[in-house]
A and B are shown apart, each in its own frame.
Chain A
Amino acid sequence: MRVALFLTCVNDTLYPDTGRAVVKLLTRLGVDVDFPMAQTCCGQAHYNTGYRHQAEPLARHFSDVFGSDAYDAIVTPSGSCGAMVRELYPRMGERARAEGRGDGLARTVAPVVPKTYELTEFLVDVLGVTDVGAYYPHTVTYHPTCHGLRALGLADRPTRLLRAVEGLELVELPGADECCGFGGTFAVKNADVSAAMGADKVRNAESTGAEVLCAADNSCLMHIGGTMARLRTAVRPVHIAEILASTEEEPLS
């Protein structure tokens, strides 16, 4: 199986370890991974802030880069960027059509929509594995990010994967399905409310006694982790891909 890694611009720029972990994990599971170098950004920040028209060229660019028949699937370690492609690209196509601008955008994005998977979804639904052979001897609590939880409906896929990790103790996060307060530009536009939400999320994570707070989206982890660092908590933020990539021979650095 040949897979295109859609890493996302945030991961590419700020969290390359997550990208390396995805490559390591998928390769270990026998998947042929490619990173199309022309990829940039899915346009989510534009779209969600009210710049739908500016997001359209990015959706077209994404579809040109990832639409190749050479790929069986497009995999991303980000629930919210995955949701952007799968849920919002078709909607953008419909809106363009409703505005009398024809079927062009809808047709352009059509090939990439059904092929795009968030990482944990790809592992469980496409590869059919829950035990990925990982080893991670730590106490972990899982924060399901909003777009993964509600837009993509990841449900218990991430926690099933985590439970199968050797040495890992999974503890429940109180108020897990409440938003951490990131929300893209919301974190800046409504900084006070965002910070209060983040602080509550961090306090909940602390109350579990876990060493690690794990999530499937580095944007949320950037906000939660930034709050953790400021509040000097003992809990660390880690992306789920890095835990799943970790093995006894090659533990997570």
Chain B
Amino acid sequence: MSGGTFVGMPAFPAAAREAVGDATLRANLRHATHTIRDKRARAVAELSDWDRLREAGKRIKDHTLRHLDHYLVRLEESVERAGGTVHWAADAEEANRIVADLVRATGETEVVKVKSMATQEIGLNEALEAEGIRAYETDLAELIVQLGHDRPSHILVPAIHRNRGEIRDIFRKEMGHWGRPAPDGLTDTPAELAEAARLHLREKFLRAKVGISGANFMVAETGTLVVVESEGNGRMCLTLPETLISVVGIEKVVPAWRDLEVFLQTLPRSSTAERMNPYTSMWTGTTDQDGPSAFHLVLLDNGRTDTLADEVGRQALRCIRCSACLNVCPVYERAGGHAYGSVYPGPIGAILSPQLRGTGSDIDASLPYASSLCGACYEVCPVAIDIPEVLVHLRERVVQGGEATRGGNRVTLRPAKGHAAERAAMRAAGLAFARPGALRAGQRLASRTRRLHPRTLPGPGRAWSATRELPEVPAEPFRDWWRRTRGGNSGGTTEGSDR
């Protein structure tokens, strides 16, 4: 993600601090995530075969990833047979250049966009702006984010952090600069806000000659792309312009049409808690007299092949961007989406961003620690990504360094800065725990000096004692009580057997 949008983000704990202290934001997030999570649980409970669907989705994705080269070539053949053109982009810069060239070739300086995380990941809007091309977001929440000069904070509800009053103010202040202004006397009722957005966007849809989209799925067998959405704005973007450019991550391919059967059940229920999403749009190449006359598919790698090379971490590529993990995550609920410093926030972002971007920056090195490992994300994931497992795996990479693939090459990563003290402490604890005698000596010392213990801790421990009372050290550790009362009778395994 070299789009530049998130460069220089502070580490997660610092970024989260602000959100934790913002009572309104926390209340908004709590209300929104709890509402969606409860609805999701009900929608999932309706299906008696949910566990089998989850397993099927996992297997389809794993199979596809294992043979990704095969299915991508197949997809390319299918798309071109249907009249489309396929472009391969290794990174953000290449993808942005391809798209900008394609737009310039049409002679247009304006494009409409349907929500695409891939284009946000690569910073396409900014790249187009630099080329004199203005990109208009048409998904309602994306529109709010764009008009508000803001960043998305949720995969499904990018403006989840904004309330109705804020949205009304943004519409009143900004719509006029981008096109049709907000109606006079606009209030904050949802119907009026939706109508204002509809009128503003309608003008753009009817004028636009170029549309840019993402896709939820690409079917290798037929060359078909699929977008699921709730508003119908996406369908306008996909059908009205003369040229359609779809920018899609290579992991979105599925082998066959029938595979959609699984995901079109699991995705809407996991994301919006609907049995079926209101709009499912599918497009295959070009057709005379109907829809865009030119179709370009830009297949984006941008770190995905490197991620695929990681045995433990590759499961993150199964993600179908449903956002169920965000809505159940207690950390996301309190830290908000912006703290994750990426278009992919929440638990999935905490494992995806450090893999796509590497762990070199402060924010990326801190993301694997932005979790209490409670496992709620794994439980709700419709493709069974073991997010806690990958988090721990990436923590290892951060503190220990080690082998990884970057830009297609095997490299040896150095440990991230700032973990030396922790590493030393872990090593010391490891040594003490390897010898029961040392542990016992430590416990005894703690017990004997327990009246002298401070109520606050120095160093990193201060973070504990700032908000919580420390436990009192007991007069006698359990093992001393056992020895005193049971005479050290321990079935032959004695303390002397230090190893």
User: Are B471 and A40 in contact, CB atoms less than 8 angstroms apart?
Assistant: no
List which B414-437 residues lie within 8 A (CB) of chain A. Answer: 422-423, 426-427, 429-430, 432-436
| CB of B381 closer than 8 Å to a CB of A | no
Give the contacting residue for A45; candidates B375, B429, B482, B490; CB below 8 A. Answer: B429
| CB of B467 closer than 8 Å to a CB of A | yes
Contacts of B494 in A (CB 8 A): 37-38
Give the interface segment out of B2-10, B274-282, B329-337. B329-337
Contacts of B289 in A (CB 8 A): none
Contacts of B369 in A (CB 8 A): 185-186, 189-190
| CB of A155 closer than 8 Å to a CB of B | no
Give the interface segment out of B135-143, B199-207, B231-239, B396-404. B396-404
Instruction: Report the minimal beta-carbon distance from A2 to chain B, rounded to whole angstroms.
Output: 8
A2 CA / B492 CA spacing, docked (Å): 14
Chain B 299-322, CB within 8 Å of chain A: the 1/0 string? 000000000000100000000000
Chain A 157-195, CB within 8 Å of chain B: the 1/0 string? 000000000000000000001110111111111111111
Contacts of A227 in B (CB 8 A): 467-468
Instruction: Report the minimal beta-carbon distance from A177 to chain B, rounded to whole angstroms.
Output: 8
User: Are B468 and A35 in contact, CB atoms less than 8 angstroms apart?
Assistant: no
| CB of A207 closer than 8 Å to a CB of B | no
| CB of A222 closer than 8 Å to a CB of B | yes
Give the interface segment out of B66-74, B167-175, B457-465. B457-465
A41 CA / B479 CA spacing, docked (Å): 13
Instruction: Report the minimal beta-carbon distance from B17 to chain A, rounded to whole angstroms.
Output: 5
| CB of A119 closer than 8 Å to a CB of B | no
A94 CA / B482 CA spacing, docked (Å): 36
Which of the listed residues B311, B378, B464, B492 has the most CB atoms from chain A within 10 Å of its own CB? B464
A228 nearest in chain B by CB position: B469
User: Are B376 and A198 in contact, CB atoms less than 8 angstroms apart?
Assistant: no
Contacts of B26 in A (CB 8 A): 196
| CB of B374 closer than 8 Å to a CB of A | yes
Q: Is the interface of B mostly helix, strand, loop or mixed?
A: helix
Q: Is the interface of A mostly helix, strand, loop or mixed?
A: helix
The size bracket of the interface on B is 35 or more
Chain B 456-488, CB within 8 Å of chain A: the 1/0 string? 000011011011111101101111011100101
Contacts of A19 in B (CB 8 A): 478, 481-482
User: Are B374 and A179 in contact, CB atoms less than 8 angstroms apart?
Assistant: yes
Which of the listed residues A7, A52, A57, A193 has the most CB atoms from chain B within 10 Å of its own CB? A193
User: Are B13 and A192 in contact, CB atoms less than 8 angstroms apart?
Assistant: yes
Which 4 pairs across A and B sit closest by C-beta, in order of nearness?
A183-B372, A50-B395, A226-B468, A191-B463
**Residues of chain B having any CB pair with chain A under 8 Å:** 12-13, 16-17, 20-21, 26, 311, 330-331, 334-335, 368-376, 378-379, 389, 392, 394-400, 422-423, 426-427, 429-430, 432-436, 439, 443, 446, 460-461, 463-464, 466-471, 473-474, 476-479, 481-483, 486, 488-495, 497-499
| Interface CB pairs A-B, < 8 A, 20 | A11-B478, A13-B443, A15-B471, A37-B490, A37-B495, A41-B429, A41-B433, A46-B429, A46-B430, A58-B433, A146-B376, A150-B374, A150-B375, A181-B372, A190-B16, A191-B466, A192-B21, A197-B334, A225-B471, A230-B467
